[in-house]
Amino acid sequence: MTKNIRFRLIVVLAILIGTLYYLYPTIYLISLSPQKKEMMALSDPQRLEDLEKRSIKLGLDLQGGMHMVLELDKSKINMNGSEAKDAIDRALEIIRTRVDQFGVSEPLIQKAGDERIVVELAGIVDTSRARALVQQSAYLEFKLVKPQAEFLQVLRQADEVVRENNLYVLSDRTPAGQAQPAVGEAKDKSFNPSDLFNKNTSSDTSAQAPDSTAAKSDSSAAAADTSSESLLPGETAAADARQAPVSHLFASVPMRGAGQQPEGELLVPVNNIPLIKAYLAKPQVWQTVQNAEVAGSIDFTRYKSSGEDPEPDTLDVEWGDDATDYVGPDGTQYKRIFLMKKKPEMTGQFLADASATLGSGNDVETANKPLVLMTLTSAGADSFEVITERFLQRDLAIVLDNIVKFAPRIISRIPDGHAQITGVPTMDKARDLSIVLRAGALPAPLTLAESRTVGPSLGADSIQKGQFSAIVALIIVALFMLVYYRFSGMVANLALVFNMVMILAVLAGFNATLTLPGIAGLILTIGMAVDANVLIFERIREELRTGKSMRAAIDTGYERAFSTILDSNLTTFITAIVLFQFGTGPIKGFSVTLSIGLAANMFTAVYFTRVIFDLWTARKSVKSISI
Amino acid sequence: MLELVKNPNFDFIGFRKIALWASLTVIVLTMLILALRGGPRYGIDFTGGAAITFSFQQEVSAEEVRQALAAAGEKSYEVTHFGDKRHVLVRLKVLDTTRDYLTPIQQQFDQRFQGNTYTVDQNDLVGPKIGTELREKALLALLFSWIGIIIYISIRFEAESFLGVLGTLVFGLIVLSISQAKAVLSSDILTLLLMAGSLAVMAYICVKFNFKYAVGAIAALIHDVFFTLGLLTLMNVEVDLTIIAALLTIVGYSLNDTIVLFDRVREEYPKERKHLPMDTIINNCVNHVLSRTIITAGTTLLAVIVLLFFGGEVIRPFALAMTIGIIVGTYSSIYISAPVLIYWQEKFGKGQELAGKKVQA
């Protein structure tokens, strides 16, 4: 008997510990002040992201945001089944690219059926931008990439601007006149610059080939500086943040492959992205980058067969689309970043078709490797011939709506409008790329079928009111149980609190979303959760009335009430499943919370309270319980 | 030991005729109200259109807002305050979802309410197609919850009616496949016909296989849904997705209540049926579970009422529907499901054991 109790006690404790483990990230995040959170977003976004991933997600109705359903308008285009499928894939690609620019940390973009796309953006409530998301036709451009050496030089200029104007992003928060702001901040646990730089350093050493690109290049003094500096231990790296605030955030390139010129892409560890964006957002820095005069740069006047007037061009920084394209040996993820001409060399309208295939023939470089075949219109073929001739050995970025999808090198002049893109790592990537290229050739026939936005203040208000209601309901119900059942009521209340905590932990553990109806479900669970215990207690009272002993009454009470409790939970569960099946967003959240509540209820009200009762009555001194 | 009612022995079932008539009257009245008003007042979830809520810093009159909307070029609009006069809900007819309706309205507001800043709290747009789909889905959801419950109850209480369970399952699958064929379900009338047809088939299955428990439970559920819907219509509450969620939850809650009672009936009937008439046994059962009924309904009601008062405007319709539903659901488990069980047994259950085969619990 005691052994049995011990086992059950262990089960209860294990679940309690598991519950607390899954709730910890949520509690930690709530305890962070907004300033500390912001600081963390800049200094250690990886950790923040990790914490957020593991804590309870709030639905759009609670944090504010936008839910959209986009629909492929089949009436506007004539197409059969497979073409429609292709159209939705292209539309999806365009939407993904555009949503990327909203800067939402975890946007949800998914196909729903064959003709709908669901997009959810937390924190964004701008409906006009949402309209632009679907109404603009896709903008595909081919832009000339600046060589990496020149990019590094531009970054050095940016460093200078930051130093001269004291535009440091992180030190903005420290009191003026502090000699080493970074060190001062290092005391703060939530932000530790040397952590950041250490990470940076290790990835540099490992990911970077020893004969780095930069070291070879003529104008690479700055690059050599940065890379050697970032090899230094963390403490001096903090000082580098003062010396080379912008450029030290970049990691230089792994070589592209044998036989190719080591010139090309700059990488950024994903952790540094927010900092770089913060620097680039400073007007002075941005202007420097945009209008950089780079020594030894090629003539950037437009070169077209039509011979139009040369015009001055500004530069632009564009990001690659995939953070997981490059993963360092230590697991650090890198995102590509490019400096390129703002004006495109060519746009998507000159593109006729694109497809993915495997290379064949005897060419060792391409045989059995994924390829993308690109066909241009006749007008496009002419300009492309000029471009490929003029910019041989340069990188031409394929940019969809301001995101660099791929930046192949021009390795030969292409006269006939049939181009081959090689060096695509996988067949899937090749397929994606062909979708991107075709997306640019056709406007996306999408319409906005549904959009729901909730302002952040309303969301905050809902959370606050929901929390308040839950606490009030909990207190009232708990008080009643305590007065009515006394000791047993207290046990039921313990179970009730355990139940609430468990629901929240499961929500966090399964990455489910808490919505406003979800909070309502939680409150409803408070009301219903006591039902199981009431059933049991009333049954025990009945048995006691018939003159049974305390032990026997408890045993019979639990036994008799169990099937009823199971029944009522299962039937409510049926309605919850139906709700989940047909419901959207918040309603789904409600049914999820309700279902978890029912399951938790079975454990806390039946198992947990029984363990407590058995523990209590196992003591010899106890002859009766108050119920 | 604190007790709400000591050894209760009320004659609940004795009032069953009055209660049944009262319920029937209310249901008929509800149907009349619904018919007169052309159905419940559907929110944009089901009709399509736009709903925007504004929060102003100072009070604004609905008339001013209407003028602004007219000036912004809107033709079909509806303005209501909620909570207080600072919060305004604007509903618009929007057939073309590409239309930017918000910007002109905001321009008008900026002009007319200078110094009275406002925020757009919510801006929902539902295209006409989605609206129709959601309406169909909501009706089907109610139907499927009923089917699911019949299956569960008949397995649980009437295990000998295996064929009946099978029949219900097949029937559910047919409904599912029909509902999946969107072309067939393109209009509301067809959906309603499907609903009516389903109810008829369901009734047939129940008679054929003598699902007395299921009939009692389903009667209570239908009663609760119509009653709540009617009351909400009377109070001019908009029916939207959250109300449907509330209705389904009420279905779950009401069933919960009914099952507690039926479990007791199944337990006591075999012991008592030799020396007591059925209505007395059932009345005793109602009395036995009375304090549980009061406490559970009480605590749930308390929780929902707290939500009604402190939960904020967004959740209020949901909380209101739940409040009504819990009261009605508690009533119906005593006065609808139990009397129907008695009636059904008297009428169709000749010679059959009420409790059915006892299932291993």
- Residue A152 pLDDT > 70, yes or no? yes
The candidate with the shortest Cα–Cα distance to B273, out of B342, B207, B360, B333, is B342
Whole-angstrom distance between the N-terminal and C-terminal Cα of chain B? 30
* Cβ-defined contact of B241 to A531 (cutoff 8 Å): no
3-class SS letters over A383-426:
HHHHHHHHCCCCEEEEEECCEEEECCECCCCCCCCEEEECCCCC
From B68's Cα to the closest Cα of chain A, the distance in A is 20
* Cβ-defined contact of B249 to A472 (cutoff 8 Å): no
Max mean pLDDT range (A82-91, A354-363, A595-604): A595-604
Q: Please give the pLDDT value at position A230.
A: 38
User: What angle do the packed helices A585-601 and A487-509 form, to 10 degrees?
Assistant: 140
Residue B274, judged by CB atoms within 10 A of its CB (0-12, 13-18, 19+), counts as exposed
Q: What is the mean pLDDT of residues A460-482?
A: 92
B61-71: pLDDT as tens digits: 999 999 999 99
Q: Please give the pLDDT value at position B133.
A: 82
Q: Please give the pLDDT value at position A220.
A: 36
Rg, C-alpha atoms of chain B = 24
* Amino acid identity at A540: I
* Cβ-defined contact of A574 to B299 (cutoff 8 Å): no
Q: Please give the pLDDT value at position A179.
A: 36
Q: Which residues of B23-53 are buried (b: 16+ CB within 10 A; e: fewer)?
A: beebeeebeeebeeeeebbbbbbbbbbbbbb
Report residue A194's pLDDT band, with 50, 70 and 90 as the boundaries: very low
Q: Please give the pLDDT value at position A226.
A: 40
B208-229: pLDDT as tens digits: 666 778 888 888 988 998 889 8
Task: Please check whether residue B149 is in contact with residue A571, taking contact to mean a CB–CB distance below 8 angstroms.
Answer: yes
Q: What is the DSSP letter of A171?
A: G
* Cβ-defined contact of B122 to A447 (cutoff 8 Å): no
Report residue B92's pLDDT band, with 50, 70 and 90 as the boundaries: very high
Structure tokens at B175: 């409904």
Q: Please give the pLDDT value at position A13.
A: 94
Max mean pLDDT range (A184-188, A374-378, A470-474, B231-235): A470-474
What does the mean pLDDT of chain B come to? 82
The residue of chain B with its CA nearest to that of A586 is B242
Q: Please give the pLDDT value at position A169.
A: 78
The sign of the torsion formed by the CA atoms of B148, B150, B155, B156 equals positive
Q: Please give the pLDDT value at position A468.
A: 93
Transcribe B8-45 into DSSP letters. Answer: ----TGGGHHHHHHHHHHHHHHHHHHHHHTTSS-B-HH
CB count within 10 Å of CB A617 equals 15
Report residue A43's pLDDT band, with 50, 70 and 90 as the boundaries: confident
Among A469, A546, A565, A598, most B C-beta atoms within 10 A, so best to mutate, is A469
User: How many contacts, defined by CB atoms under 8 Å, are there between A and B?
Assistant: 224
Measured CA to CA, the distance from residue A447 to residue A91 in angstroms comes to: 11
Task: Please check whether residue B98 is in contact with residue A76, taking contact to mean a CB–CB distance below 8 angstroms.
Answer: no
| Nearest neighbour of A473 by CB, restricted to B149, B249, B306 | B306
User: What angle do the packed helices A81-100 and A427-441 form, to 10 degrees?
Assistant: 90
- Residue B169 pLDDT > 80, yes or no? no
Helix (H) or strand (E) holding A450: strand A446-454
- Residue A19 pLDDT > 90, yes or no? yes
Three-state secondary-structure class, residue A79: coil
Structure tokens at A494: 């313990």
Rg, C-alpha atoms of chain A = 31
Measured CA to CA, the distance from residue A500 to residue A346 in angstroms comes to: 59
Task: Please check whether residue B130 is in contact with residue B48, taking contact to mean a CB–CB distance below 8 angstroms.
Answer: yes
CB count within 10 Å of CB A366 equals 16
Measured CA to CA, the distance from residue A217 to residue A212 in angstroms comes to: 9
| Nearest neighbour of B2 by CB, restricted to A135, A483, A586 | A483
Residue B189, judged by CB atoms within 10 A of its CB (0-12, 13-18, 19+), counts as exposed
Q: Please give the pLDDT value at position A345.
A: 84
Q: What is the mean pLDDT of residues A479-492?
A: 93
Task: Please check whether residue B224 is in contact with residue B344, taking contact to mean a CB–CB distance below 8 angstroms.
Answer: no
Cross-strand bridge partners of residue B125: A451, B50
CA triple B49-B138-A526, angle to 5 deg: 105
Structure tokens at B214: 């299921």
Measured CA to CA, the distance from residue A560 to residue A535 in angstroms comes to: 9
Instruction: Return the minimum-mean-pLDDT range out of A183-187, B63-67, B254-258, B291-295.
Output: A183-187
Three-state secondary-structure class, residue A611: helix
* Cβ-defined contact of A568 to B259 (cutoff 8 Å): yes
Measured CA to CA, the distance from residue A470 to residue A522 in angstroms comes to: 8
Instruction: Return the minimum-mean-pLDDT range out of A356-360, A412-416, B326-330.
Output: A356-360
* Amino acid identity at B66: R
Transcribe B108-132 into DSSP letters. Answer: HHHHHTTT--EEEEEEEEE-HHHHH
| Nearest neighbour of A530 by CB, restricted to B121, B299, B322 | B299
- Residue A158 pLDDT > 80, yes or no? yes
Q: Which residue has the higher pLDDT, A98 or B264?
A: B264
Rounded-to-5 percentages of helix, strand, coil across chain A: 55, 15, 30
B240-270: pLDDT as tens digits: 888 988 988 888 888 888 888 988 888 888 8
Q: What is the mean pLDDT of residues A46-73?
A: 87
Q: What is the mean pLDDT of residues A407-423?
A: 87
| Nearest neighbour of A454 by CB, restricted to B122, B149, B256 | B122
Instruction: Return the minimum-mean-pLDDT range out of A31-45, A269-283, A289-303, A502-516.
Output: A289-303
Q: Please give the pLDDT value at position B329.
A: 93
* Cβ-defined contact of A538 to B156 (cutoff 8 Å): no
Structure tokens at B43: 């929110």
* Cβ-defined contact of B121 to A127 (cutoff 8 Å): no
Residue B80: left (phi > 0), alpha (psi -120 to 50), or beta? Answer: beta
Helix (H) or strand (E) holding B82: strand B77-82
Q: pTM for this one?
A: 0.75
Q: B248: which chain A residues are within 8 Å (Cβ-Cβ)?
A: 575, 578-579
A321-355: pLDDT as tens digits: 765 566 777 777 788 888 888 888 888 878 888 88
- Residue A582 pLDDT > 70, yes or no? yes
CA A82 to the chain's CA centroid: 31
Measured CA to CA, the distance from residue A228 to residue A232 in angstroms comes to: 7
Among A72, A124, A582, A593, most B C-beta atoms within 10 A, so best to mutate, is A582
Q: Please give the pLDDT value at position B162.
A: 62
Q: Please give the pLDDT value at position A255.
A: 44
Report residue A202's pLDDT band, with 50, 70 and 90 as the boundaries: very low
Report residue A219's pLDDT band, with 50, 70 and 90 as the boundaries: very low
Measured CA to CA, the distance from residue A597 to residue A593 in angstroms comes to: 6
Measured CA to CA, the distance from residue A301 to residue A563 in angstroms comes to: 82
Report residue A589's pLDDT band, with 50, 70 and 90 as the boundaries: confident
Percent of chain A at pLDDT exceeding 90: 16
The answer for residues whose C-beta is within 8 angstroms of residue A609's C-beta and 6 or more apart is A491, A492, A494, A495, A533, A536
Q: What is the mean pLDDT of residues B62-86?
A: 90
Q: Which residue has the higher pLDDT, A44 or A556?
A: A556
What does the mean pLDDT of chain A come to? 77
Rounded-to-5 percentages of helix, strand, coil across chain B: 65, 10, 25
The residue of chain B with its CA nearest to that of A591 is B245
Residue A324, judged by CB atoms within 10 A of its CB (0-12, 13-18, 19+), counts as exposed
The answer for residues whose C-beta is within 8 angstroms of residue B91's C-beta and 6 or more apart is B44, B49, B50, B51, B77, B78, B79, B80
The residue of chain A with its CA nearest to that of B295 is A534
| Residue B70, phi then psi, degrees to nearest 5 | -60, -40
- Residue A68 pLDDT > 70, yes or no? yes
* Residue B44 near chain A (CB below 8 Å): no
| Nearest neighbour of A563 by CB, restricted to B148, B263, B304 | B263
Measured CA to CA, the distance from residue A200 to residue A193 in angstroms comes to: 11
Q: Which residue has the higher pLDDT, A548 or A225?
A: A548
Q: Please give the pLDDT value at position A44.
A: 81
Instruction: Return the minimum-mean-pLDDT range out of A229-233, A390-394, B51-55.
Output: A229-233
**Strand order across the beta sheet in which A108-112 lies:** A108-112, A116-122, A65-72, A446-454, B118-126, B49-56, B84-92, B77-82
* Cβ-defined contact of A458 to B121 (cutoff 8 Å): yes
* Residue B183 near chain A (CB below 8 Å): no
Q: Please give the pLDDT value at position A22.
A: 93
Measured CA to CA, the distance from residue B305 to residue A527 in angstroms comes to: 11
The residue of chain B with its CA nearest to that of A133 is B98
Structure tokens at A474: 């909990």
* Cβ-defined contact of B300 to A450 (cutoff 8 Å): no
Measured CA to CA, the distance from residue A532 to residue B295 in angstroms comes to: 11
Structure tokens at A208: 């970077």
3-class SS letters over A350-391:
HEEEEEEEECCCCCCCCCCCEEEEEEECHHHHHHHHHHHHHC
The residue of chain B with its CA nearest to that of A478 is B299
Q: A541: which chain B residues are within 8 Å (Cβ-Cβ)?
A: 1
Task: Tell me the CB-side half-sphere exposure of residue B32, using CA atoms within 13 A.
Answer: 6
Q: Please give the pLDDT value at position A155.
A: 87
Q: Which residue has the higher pLDDT, A17 or B214?
A: A17
Q: B292: which chain A residues are within 8 Å (Cβ-Cβ)?
A: 531, 534-535, 538
- Residue A261 pLDDT > 50, yes or no? no
- Residue A300 pLDDT > 70, yes or no? no
* Cβ-defined contact of A135 to B98 (cutoff 8 Å): yes
Three-state secondary-structure class, residue A434: helix
- Residue A196 pLDDT > 70, yes or no? no
Q: Which residue has the higher pLDDT, B139 or B118?
A: B118
Q: Please give the pLDDT value at position B271.
A: 86
Report residue B109's pLDDT band, with 50, 70 and 90 as the boundaries: very high
From A83's Cα to the closest Cα of chain B, the distance in A is 22
- Residue A171 pLDDT > 70, yes or no? no
- Residue A98 pLDDT > 70, yes or no? yes
Q: Which residue has the higher pLDDT, A18 or B345?
A: A18
From B12's Cα to the closest Cα of chain A, the distance in A is 20
Measured CA to CA, the distance from residue B292 to residue A533 in angstroms comes to: 10
ipTM of the complex: 0.84
* Cβ-defined contact of A574 to B148 (cutoff 8 Å): yes
Measured CA to CA, the distance from residue B214 to residue A244 in angstroms comes to: 76
Q: Please give the pLDDT value at position A568.
A: 80
* Amino acid identity at A487: F
Q: Please give the pLDDT value at position A115.
A: 83
Measured CA to CA, the distance from residue B260 to residue A165 in angstroms comes to: 75
Cross-strand bridge partners of residue A69: A118, A450
Task: Please check whether residue A401 is in contact with residue A96, taking contact to mean a CB–CB distance below 8 angstroms.
Answer: no
